Amino acid sequence: MARELLLSGHRYWILSEPHEHGWKAWVEEVRTDQSGTDSVGIEATADTRGGADSAAERKLRRLLQLPVQCVLPASLGRRDGASSYYAAVTTASVSR
């Protein structure tokens, strides 16, 4: 299973697999003719799959000089103080 991103008109896959005591993720760019992928050269590791995937995405966004997405506790915007849910604060991707 891969996370797919469309950034600056390019399609990227973040792939991950178990690695030692955690997870390793890496980024590949999908060729425009859909004939395959090319490695971007970005790898990240973390204790969880989601952590590794997110770290790889942050590295890719920094490489492309795009805003990094943030995840904040939903309680920051709620009056009841509940913090069991998280809200993703997304940023618009910038076309170059």
Q: What is the pLDDT of residues 61-86, one digit of tens each?
A: 999 988 766 554 444 444 444 433 33
pLDDT at 53 (0 to 100): 95
Express each pLDDT in 2-55 by its tens digit.
889 999 889 999 999 999 999 999 999 999 898 999 999 999 999 999 999 999
How many structural domains comprise the chain? 1
Residue 89 included in any domain: no
Query: Residue 8: inside a domain, yes or no?
Result: yes
Tell whether 52 is covered by a domain.
yes
Classify residue 13: in a domain, yes or no. Answer: yes
Name the residue range of residue 47's domain.
Answer: 2-67
Structure tokens at 44: 């990240």
